[in-house]
Amino acid sequence: MKKIFCMLLCLVMLGSLLTACGDDSKMKSYTYQDVTIQVPSSLKEDKDTISGTGFSFCLSSNSIVVVGLHEDVSILGDDFTVEDYVDLMVEANSLNAKLEKHNGRTVFVYTAEVGVEFTYMGCSYKVGDEVWTIQAYTPTSAYSKNKDTLVEIVTSAEFN
C-alpha cells in the first residue's frame, strides 16, 4: 500500500511539473509600441508584476521572465552612446555584470538573489533620443538550459 501511494504521489507530482512547464523552445513575435522581440510562445503578458516599477512591459512563464524599459536620454547629448548607458546602468545599480558578445550585440549578464538566485541577461539599444533595454532572467539553476533562449530574446529587438 505504501509503495502504491508513493507511486501515485510521484505520478501526480510529475503531471503537475509537466503541465506547469511551458514550451520555451517555440518562439513568437511580441510587439510593444515600436519594438518587436522574439520570445518563447509560453510567455504571457504580466502587467501586475510591473505596476509601479517603471518597466514598459513584462512577459513571464514558469522559467523565464522578460522585461522592457525605455528611457529618454536626450539630455545627455548627441555623443551619448548605448555603451555609455550600459556603463552608467551597471554602475548606478552596483551590478557585478560581465559583458559578452552575442549575435553582434554587447550583452550584460549578472546574478542577483531575491529569495532564489537569478541570472539576468540584458541588451540595450539606442533609438533616437531613447535607450531601450530588453532584459530576460531565469533561476540560475536553469541558466545553462535557458541561455540560448535568453540570448535570442535580448538580441532580437527590431524597431519601427
Task: Identify whether 88 is part of a domain.
Answer: yes
- What pTM did the predictor assign? 0.80
Which domain CATH number covers 117? 3.40.1000.10
Task: Identify whether 4 is part of a domain.
Answer: no
133 and 89 Cβ atoms separated by less than 8 Å: yes
Task: Identify whether 141 is part of a domain.
Answer: yes
Tens digits of per-residue pLDDT, 59-104? 999 999 999 999 999 888 888 888 888 888 888 888 899 999 999 9
Residue 157: name the closest of 55, 32, 65, 45 by CA: 32
Task: Identify whether 5 is part of a domain.
Answer: no
What average pLDDT is seen over the chain?
A: 83
Q: Which domain holds residue 32?
A: 25-159
Sign of CA dihedral 82, 87, 90, 95: positive
Return the pLDDT at 5.
26
